[in-house]
Amino acid sequence: MGKGGGCIPSKRHRATAAADAAPQPLSPTSHRRERTFIPAPSAAVAPAPAPRPVRIYVVFYSMYGHVRLLARAVQRGVGSVPGARALLFRVPETLPPAVLAQMGAKEAADGEDIPVVDLDGLPDADGFLFGFPARFGSMAAQMQAFFDSTEPLCRHQRLAGKPAGFFVSTGTQGGGQETTAWTAITQLAHHGMVFVPIGYTFSEGMFELDELRGGSPYGAGVFSGDGSRPPSELELALAEHHGKYMATLVKRMVHGAS
C-alpha cells in the first residue's frame, strides 16, 4: 500500500484524531447556555379604559303626571343596568297657563325639577325612550310639536341609526295603547332611527288578566281613566322593565356587551 494509505495512520491523521478527542470549551451559544436563558420582562401593557356609560334620553310630555311617573320608572330600569344612565327631559308646553289651569293640569308644578329638552344635545344620546299621553289615538299635540321642531336634525340625519322606543298613557282600554305608539313610528322613520318594541319580554306580566294593566308589545303604558287613576304597581314594573330592556340593547349596540 502507498504511504499513509494502510492500516497504520500517518502522523497527520494521528494529530487530527488527538485533537478531536480533546475536550472542547463551551461556546457562549451552547445548548446548555440557551436552556438557562431568562428573557427580559416585557413592558407592562396598560389595561384598556372602561367603556363610558351609555346615555339614554327619556323625553316625555305629561299633563296630569301619569307619563312622568312612568318616566321615573323607566329611569330606574335603565339605571339598574351597569354602565347605563338615563337622563329625563320634558318637552316644551304649548298651551297657555290659563288653559292648563282650566284643564286641571298637574305637571307644571310636579315636573319643575326636570329640564326642558335641548334639541342641540339630542345627538349626544345613544338611545331614546319617548313618553306621551294619547289624544284621539295618537300622541298629544305638545309631543308632536317637539318632533316637528327636530326638522333640522332630520335634514342632516343626525339621529339616524339611534334606537328608540315609546311609552304611553291613555284614558280607557280602547283609547289607543297600541295605536298611539304605532302612529308615532313615522317620526322615527323620517329620522332614520330604529324602533325598539318590548314584545312580550315582560313574560307572564304581559298576559295579566286579573287586574287592569296598560302597556303592549309596543311599550309600557298606563290607563289613566278620567285622570284620577295613578299607575299601578304592575304598570310601573312594566315601565321599569322597559327601561332595563332598552338599556341592555343599547349597551349591546354601542359596546358589544352581552
Residue 182 in grid coordinates: 304605532
Say whether 215 sits in a helix, a strand or coil.
coil
Q: How close are the terminal C-alpha atoms of the chain, in Å? A: 88
Task: Say what the pLDDT of residue 19 is.
Answer: 53
Task: Say what the pLDDT of residue 190 is.
Answer: 98
Residue 172 in grid coordinates: 280607557
Residues 6+ apart with CB under 8 A from 55: 85, 87, 124, 125, 126, 127
Residue 33 pLDDT greater than 80, yes or no: no
Q: How confident is the model at residue 209 (pLDDT cuts 50, 70, 90)?
A: confident
Q: Number of helices (H) and strands (E) in the chain: give both, helices first.
A: 10, 7
Lowest mean pLDDT among 31-40, 131-140, 160-169: 31-40
Residues 6+ apart with CB under 8 A from 100: 63, 93, 108
Mean predicted lDDT score pLDDT of the chain: 86
- Which residues are paired to 12 by β-bridges? none
Domains of the chain and CATH, by start: 54-255 (3.40.50.360)
Q: How confident is the model at residue 110 (pLDDT cuts 50, 70, 90)?
A: low
> Is pLDDT larger for residue 138 or for residue 175?
138
What proportions of the chain, in percent to the nearest 5, are helix, strand and coil?
Answer: 40, 15, 45
Cα 240–chain centre separation: 15
